[in-house]
Homo-oligomer: A and B are copies of this chain.
Amino acid sequence: TDVKKIAVIAGDGIGPEVVAEAEKVLKKAEELYGYSFETEHALFGGIAIDEKGTPLPEETLAICKSADAVLLGAVGGPKWDNNSKELRPETGLLGIRKALGLFSNLRPAVVFDCLKEASTLKPEVLEGTDLMVVRELTGGIYFGEKLRRQGEHGEEAVDTCVYNVTEIERITRQAFEIAQKRRKKLASVDKANVLETSRLWRETVNRIAPDYPDVELEHVLVDNCAMQLLRRPSSFDVIVTENMFGDILSDEAAMLTGSIGMLASASMGDSTDAGSFGLYEPVHGSAPDIAGQGLANPIATILSVALMFRLTFNYAEAADAIEAAVAKVLDEGHRTADIAVDKSKALSTSQMGDLIVAAM
> Interface on A for B, CB 8 Å cutoff?
76, 88, 90, 94, 120-122, 125, 141-142, 144, 146-148, 151-167, 191, 193-197, 199-200, 222-224, 226-227, 230-231, 244-245, 247-252, 254-256, 260
Residues of B within 8 Å of A161, CB to CB, are 141, 158-161
CA distance A170 to B247 in the complex (A): 28
Name A245's closest neighbour in chain B (CB-CB). B248
State which of B88, B199, B244 has its C-beta within 8 Å of the C-beta of A157: B199
Report yes or no: A151 in contact with B122, Cβ–Cβ below 8 A: no
Report yes or no: A153 in contact with B167, Cβ–Cβ below 8 A: yes
Residues of B within 8 Å of A193, CB to CB, are 76, 88, 90
Q: Contacts A120-B230, A122-B121 given: A196-B162 contact, CB under 8 Å?
A: no
CA distance A231 to B165 in the complex (A): 37
Residues of B within 8 Å of A167, CB to CB, are 153
Name A285's closest neighbour in chain B (CB-CB). B224
Name A123's closest neighbour in chain B (CB-CB). B122
State which of B155, B162, B164, B224 has its C-beta within 8 Å of the C-beta of A200: B155
Residues of B within 8 Å of A260, CB to CB, are 227
Name A156's closest neighbour in chain B (CB-CB). B164
CA distance A165 to B157 in the complex (A): 9
Q: What are 17 sample pairs from A and B whose C-beta atoms fall under 8 A apart?
A: A88-B193, A90-B193, A120-B121, A120-B122, A122-B122, A153-B167, A154-B165, A156-B165, A157-B199, A158-B161, A160-B160, A191-B244, A222-B247, A223-B248, A223-B250, A226-B226, A226-B255
Least Cβ–Cβ distance between A128 and chain B, in angstroms = 14
Given A157-B163, A226-B226, 4 more A-B residue pairs with CB atoms under 8 Å apart are A90-B193, A121-B121, A191-B247, A231-B255
Least Cβ–Cβ distance between A13 and chain B, in angstroms = 15
Q: Contacts A90-B194, A121-B120, A159-B161 given: A226-B252 contact, CB under 8 Å?
A: yes
Please tell me how many copies of the chain the complex holds: 2
Residue of A125, A146, A161, A166 with most chain B CB atoms under a 10 A cut-off: A161
CA distance A125 to B121 in the complex (A): 9
Residues of B within 8 Å of A125, CB to CB, are 120
Residues of B within 8 Å of A151, CB to CB, are 164
Residues of B within 8 Å of A251, CB to CB, are 223-224, 226-227
CA distance A245 to B155 in the complex (A): 21
Report yes or no: A160 in contact with B163, Cβ–Cβ below 8 A: no
State which of B122, B159, B194 has its C-beta within 8 Å of the C-beta of A142: B194
Report yes or no: B227 in contact with A254, Cβ–Cβ below 8 A: yes
Residues of B within 8 Å of A164, CB to CB, are 151-157
Name A144's closest neighbour in chain B (CB-CB). B158
Residues of B within 8 Å of A247, CB to CB, are 191, 222-223
Name A146's closest neighbour in chain B (CB-CB). B196
Residues of B within 8 Å of A200, CB to CB, are 148, 155-157
Residue of A90, A122, A167 with most chain B CB atoms under a 10 A cut-off: A122
Report yes or no: B226 in contact with A248, Cβ–Cβ below 8 A: yes
Residue of A160, A167, A245 with most chain B CB atoms under a 10 A cut-off: A160
Report yes or no: A194 in contact with B160, Cβ–Cβ below 8 A: no
Residue of A147, A153, A252 with most chain B CB atoms under a 10 A cut-off: A252
